[in-house]
Homo-oligomer: A and B are copies of this chain.
Amino acid sequence: MVPMAATMRDVAALAGVSIKTVSRVVNLEPHTRPEVVRRVRSAIAELEWVPNGAARTLRTGRTGVIAVGVPQLRRPYLSMLTEAVVSEVYRRGLQAAVEPTHHRDERLTTLLDARGRVFDGIILIGAVPPDLVATLRPTDAVVLLHHQSTDRVDSVDADAVEAASLVARHLVVMGRSRPALIGVDRTTDGPRAVAEALAAAGIVGDAPRVDHVAGRAEGARAARELLDRAPGTDALLCGSDELALGALAELARSGVAVPDQVAIVGFDNLDDASFSTPSLTTVDPGAARLARSAVDLLVDRLAGTGGDAARRIISPVELVRRESTLGPGLR
């Protein structure tokens, strides 16, 4: 069984100092002689003492836990991002508690309410209802990851404008001119950014599109619908790799050649994207970097060094060129 846990008092007794001195050593406060520090340290080691988190929390009001709210873990991109966030949190000596919200607002509300009691701060991944965001203040220890710009609270997102531009220019280079869009509304300004980027790249007219979808099945459905509606389509721009992979499967099923007839671009750079046939051209949002930025912002808030205004970090993206967008006849 777990051995009877040692307490600070035991450590103090063994080191021949007062309990407060132990506390000072543990919390790296100044005003302690090196020799005393050494003695306390070895007493701690000998007794295998570990600070009691509950007592510390009770006294300080801090839990050292950061909650990570994520809509679903089983979406590959979300699990990848969540893992990155959790690692980043641990790297800073804090604990992480992952809470899948399943898109239920009440779960989010509960989560936000629990702030300050169960954990110190929250990182929320994905869209959050505006009325919930409206209840937040810039100084709150809350960071929205992959959320549209807001002045209510700190947020981090990938550079959608740059992503759209990279993709649009790549399409033109690869000789495509009649794209269709699937679920590029991951952020509210996604569709606009894509439209502008396409226009800037010289592709005219409104691209047909299907909004609000997620997952492979929906990607497949959307691909079929778009090809029916706009038979001349020569490229599918998808808001996620999952959609793109679903579309890819559907096209293969219905005998449409990719990329010869239709090119496909995804977003997320999932591990899977390099293992489809053909492999998938996609935008890498840089999950590790996004995670780091989000935790950075939150840690600032916890330290009180975040300033009075909501901050926003736009994280750079990268285009990963693969087989699904090779030019027609260039194979």
List A residues at the B interface (Cβ < 8 Å): 1-2, 5, 50, 52-55, 57-58, 63, 65, 72-74, 76, 79-80, 82-83, 86-87, 90, 95-100, 113-118, 137, 139-140, 215-217, 220, 245-246, 249, 252-253, 271-272, 275-277
Which residues of the other chain, B, contact A72 by a CB distance below 8 angstroms?
A: 83
Instruction: Determine the distance from Cα of A275 to Cα of B248 in the docked complex, in whole angstroms.
Output: 9
Min CB distance A82 to B, Å, is 6
If A1-B137, A58-B52, A276-B249 touch, does A98 touch B74 (CB 8 Å cutoff)?
no
Q: With A54-B57, A97-B98 as given contacts, are A73 and B63 in contact (CB-CB < 8 Å)? A: no
Which chain B positions have C-beta within 8 A of A272? 216, 245, 272
Nearest B residue to A277 via CB reads B252
Residues of B within 8 A of A65 (CB): 97
Taking a contact as CB atoms closer than 8 A, the residue among B96, B215, B220, B275 that contacts A97 in the complex is: B96
- A79 to B276 Cα, complex, angstroms: 20
C-alpha gap A83/B82 in the complex (Å): 12
Select one of B50, B53, B73, B80 contacting A80, CB under 8 A. B73
Most-contacted residue by chain B among A52, A54, A137, A249 (CB, 10 A): A54
- Indicate if the CB atoms of A271 and B74 lie closer than 8 Å: yes
Known contacts A58-B52, A97-B96, A275 near B246 by CB under 8 Å: yes
CA distance A50 to B87 in the complex (A): 30
Chain B residue numbers with a CB within 8 Å of A100 are 83, 86-87
* Closest B residue by C-beta to A74: B80
Chain B residues, Cβ within 8 Å of A80:
73-74
Write out the residue numbers on chain B whose beta carbons fall within 8 Å of the beta carbon of A140.
1
Q: Are B277 and A52 within 8 A (Cβ)?
A: no
Contacting residues, chain B, for A57 (C-beta < 8 A): 53-54
**In the assembled complex, which residues on chain B have CB atoms less than 8 Å from the CB atom of A52?**
58, 117
Shortest distance between the CB of A215 and any CB in chain B (Å): 7
Of chain B, the residue at the smallest CB distance from A252 is: B277
CA A284 to CA B321, docked complex, whole Å: 34
